[in-house]
Structure 1
Amino acid sequence: MTDLNPSEPTSTASPSVILVGVDFGVPHFDGELEELGLLAQTAGYTVADRVSCKRRAPDPALFVGSGKADEIKLLAQSTGASEVLFDQALSPAQQRNLERHLGLPVNDRTLLILEIFAQRARSHEGKLQVELARLQYLSTRLVRRWSHLERQSGGIGMRGGPGEKQIELDRRLISDAIKRTKERLGKVKKQRATQRRQRERRDAFNISLVGYTNAGKSSLFNGLVKARTYAADQLFATLDTTTRQLYLGEAGRSVSLSDTVGFIRDLPHGLVDAFAATLQEAVDADLLLHVVDASNPAHPEQIASVMGVLKDIGADQIPQILVFNKLDAMDPATVPALLVDLMELDGQSVPRIYVSARSGQGFPELRGMLAERVMSQVGEAGDMGPYDQGSFEGIENT
């Protein structure tokens, strides 16, 4: 997993991995490592076995302690696993010590998410963002891993003391690459800003879909605007922002609807920073459709994770409508009597609606809620005039 270049040829056989999770007493600990397993499968790995344990604090050297590390080593030998994946972020020193102890590559949740993003990014902007996040991650991994390549002396006649060490070369090369990638991303941000200004001049009302990964955002997007955005029952099926126009007959105008990348628990901060240009669609939105997987028992924790990321990017104060998707997949005993109600979210009452993107159930009511919100906000800002269905051209980043 150390190479994140999606253009490199890969083996047809799926490498097997052992999943490791440590319970430090946090409320959202996934004892069965289900989400990490889904991430591993999404990245193309086969799960050989799972290991979980409890600790008060991470071991400074091996994260799990020497005894548990020995257990993982024996398990890897018996299952033939070729790699070990941790559900938590490892420090560079812990990663290096574990690799020496286990004799296998060791990686963490952060790198796994980065690899998935590298595989899925399709747009020029998305690839740049992944590359920036990858470089920023690698810049923290330079902990004397290549000390055997150091140039121990410099200058003619081997005088003048030690020459430049390999770690210094790597750090300088990565620093230069980060600088170049940021400059290229800056140009992309300017292009996006131009697109947003064009929409603002047309008095466009902007709605962004946000939510936990695999909550069904892209399926909902496709159902609302009759688009063909890629949607699949897997994590991070959509990475690149897609914008289309949605005509609301009740409001007599079109609005701009954007499908953004899904969030996840413990989303690496490097990815939040690197995807600032993509997530800017959410920051600049007039309304957020917060899509929730109503059939997932862990949806309260997923809502909290999404709200945390929205706060990180400065979008937590934007008005929201909670869209509880996958109504058709819910246990019949848990289906509420009222499909439209209010829910407390961060101390505020937020409109909530239950829908099924697969069957279309609840779509008319959702369109009505959107039209009501548009007319309400347009009325506060002044009469912006009606727009017919062809007022805007669809915009998609490819």
Structure 2
Amino acid sequence: MSERARRLSARAVIRLLGEDFHQLPDGGDPRPYAPDGPLAWPGYDAARARAAERTGEDESVVCGTALIDGTRAVLIVSEFGFLGGSLGERTGDRLESAYTHARARRLPVVSLIATGGSRMQEGMIALTQLQRVARQSALTRDAGVPQIAVLRDPATGGGWATLGAGADVVLALPGAQVGFAGSRVRPADADPAAYTAEAQVAAGAADAVVPPEALRATLGQWLRLLTAPASTEPAPPPRPLGLTDPPATGWDAVHRARHPDRPRAPRYLDAYFTHRVTVSGDRCGGVDPTGILCGFGASRLDGRTVAYAAQTGTATRPAGYRTAARLIRLADRLGIPVLTLVDTPGAANDAEAERQGVGPAIAEVFAAVATARTPVTTLVIGEGGSGGALALAAPGNTWATPDSYFSVIAPELATAILKRPASESELTANQLRITPEELTRLGVARPF
């Protein structure tokens, strides 16, 4: 992506993405600025005048409503050409007014960010605008109104730490400079690759990099899914895609669940949804792309939006659990039902997983499921290994396919804990009562 494409003006971005744009009133104090601003900074008025002449704007952000691929949203669009897209007191006025309008009309907020941070010429007055923005974002979150951020170039400083990282979904343009530290304040030996959109996705701070030509359609898909009518009805479980006859024994169930040709999460998700979008990253520096798949999709059954967290058959890592908890909490705020697919031999138990807080991460998922007001549905599609699987299971609303099992721990490990010889693993598996039929009799699973 070229430098020119990344540095589009605010109005050009609006034309690229939206239709029927209506600019919102500024809000805030209608009185004119004191000469050279709140700090009487010499030359500030002249700098603002030059910026206005150059850009055609009178502030560093343009706010309004527009249709994005058919969905009405509140747009917050940075104008980087106006003093580097910096945030000042009047910027805060506009942002607060935009968030208030979004909540009053229950319109999603889409922020398209290109800013170098807070405005030096307004000092601490400028910096405290971040508190205003953070509060407005939190109020909007509590109101169940979705927020999507698009990181343009650059997205640094407080704009990244509030408008950007505070959003429910964070998308970024390829090659965009993204980081709390701007280019002029980083250590001299800092790796520039760490301050990119791609690096933020890899670190779990953003969900995806989206090329500009796909941005309108991508935003439209996200907005349609996240603004679907809230539903109090649980999502029905997917139908089993593998074997249909019950396993003969617990050991047979274990072998079925571990078979390499057994249907995995991607097949179930493809069969269940017409289309879906991906939530990635735990917002704490980690991702688990091979252990769990999270996102939102449109159900083939009735078109409803359903959130999903699907284990993929490997040991789930701490970042995967935290991402799942983030997804469930977001779905709960928006009134979107959740589908979880359980398929893991257990949580990752290596030393690095312990250093990354696997126990607290699992606790987050248990808490998210336990406190969710939105209905959660679970289907066990493979291995159900211990608490690392149970964390994603909905109490009283869990089903199990004929090629799955659910156990207090893997039979081999249970055998070792019981100080039995390894040759007795089959006996242990049978004694644990882990087949779908036995789980139904125990009240752990529901019959199809």
Normalised TM-score (structure 1): 0.28
Larger-Rg structure: 2
Compute the TM-score of the two structures, normalised by the length of structure 2: 0.26
